[in-house]
Structure 1
Amino acid sequence: MSEQRTRPTVYAVWLIVAGVVGLIAAFALTVEKFVLLQNPQDALSCDISPFIQCSKNLNSPQGEVFGFPNPLLGLMGWMAPLIVGVAILAGARFPRWFWAVFGAGITFAFGFVCWLIGQSLYDLFVLCPWCMITWAVTIPTFFATMLHLTRNGTFTRSEKVQERANSLMVWVPLATVLAYAVIIMMAQLQGLDFLGEMARIIF
C-alpha cells in the first residue's frame, strides 16, 4: 500500500500521542533527577513503595548507560515521533530512506526499553512509574511503525505483503496488551507483586 495513495492518519495521531506522553515522562524523570542530585537523601514524588520507585533506577548505572541520565534520551528522542506525526497530518510525504532511518531509531528505542525492562526486573528488582509509562508507549509505537514501514514500501515492494501489513495494523492494540501481560507475568514470576501493589495503591 503506497503512502502516496493513502494518508496514515491513525498512525500519525498515535505518533503525536506517543510523542507527547513520552516527552512528559522524560521531562518528569529529568526533573526528578535534578531533585535527586540536589537532595540525595530525600524521597522522590514517584517513590511510591520499595517496589515501585524512581530513585533506585535513576541512581543505578543502568540509569546512565551513555554517561548521562537516560531521560535526556527521551527528551531528544520523543521529539521525532511527534514531529513526524504532525508532518504526516499536514500532508508531508517522506522518502524511503527517511522512513528507514526513522524505523532504525524506533527499533533502537524498543531494544533499549526491552533491555531496561530486563534490568529493572532481574537486576534492580524495582519498577519506575515514569519508566513504565515510557515502556507503555514505546512498545505499540514499535509494532505500529514496523507494520507501517512494511505497508508503505520501505521494507518491501510487494503489494501483497503491503496489503497484509495494512490489515494487521488493527491487531497492534492486542499485540500491545499481550506484551504488557508478558511483562506483568515476568514481574510476578520474579516475585514482584505488580498487580497486588497497584491494587493497594489505587484502593
Structure 2
Amino acid sequence: MNHQNWLSRVALIFALTFSLTSFTTLLAIASPAPKNSPVVETQTKQLRPIKITSQEISQVQRALPQRKLLIEHAFRVNLPDFGSCIFVPVQEFSQNPKKAKLSLYLVKNNQVIYTFPQSQQVRPWNLISLKAVSFLELDFDGPDEDGILLISNYTAAGKSQTFPVATLYHREKNGFKVYEDISKKLTQRKVKTIAEAENILRKDFGFIP
C-alpha cells in the first residue's frame, strides 16, 4: 500500500468515527429521560416526596393508632436532619370544646420521630379539610426544599362557612418552625391554591428562586 492510499484510509476511518460519535451525542440530547427516572425526580424535588405504599400506610397506622390519617396528603420524603421518613398529616378531634385540628408528624420505623409545632393562627378554628401540601425551596442557599406550605379549610367557632387558611413551615436544624406572620398574611389574602401562595411568596416576600 503506497503512502497516499494509507493516508486516504486513515482519513476515512477518522471521518466515520467522528460521524458516529456526533450521531450518538445527538441521540443522547434528543432522547427524553424516562418519566420515573430518578434524575427527573431529583431535578424537580430534592426531597423526592412520593405517595406512600400500602405497607407504609400500615406502618403509619401502627405509629399513630386510632387517628384520622389524611393519607392522600402523606408522603415519603428524604429530609437532611431525619433521613428517609414519612410526612403524615392527621385530623385530630378534641371533646372540650368539640373541634378538629391539623397535626403533622414524621414517622420512621413504626415510630413518630418528630411532631410539628401548631400554627398559632389556627388554634381557635375548626379544621374541615386539608386541601394541598407542597414542599418548597424558600431560600437561595441550596438545592433542598426547606419549606412546607399547606392550604386547609377551617370554620370559626359557631359558624358554618368555611374559609381557606395557609400555613408556612420553614426547616431549621433538627426541626421546623411556623412562619406565623407570613402565614397570617397569606390567609388574610384568602389564598386558595398553592400556585397563588407561591406567586405571593415570590413577588412580595422574596422567597422561592
Bigger-Rg structure (1/2): 2
Q: Shared topology, TM-score over 0.5?
A: no
Instruction: Compare the two structures and name the one with the higher strand fraction.
Output: 2
Q: Which has the higher contact order (CA 8 A, sep 6+)?
A: 1
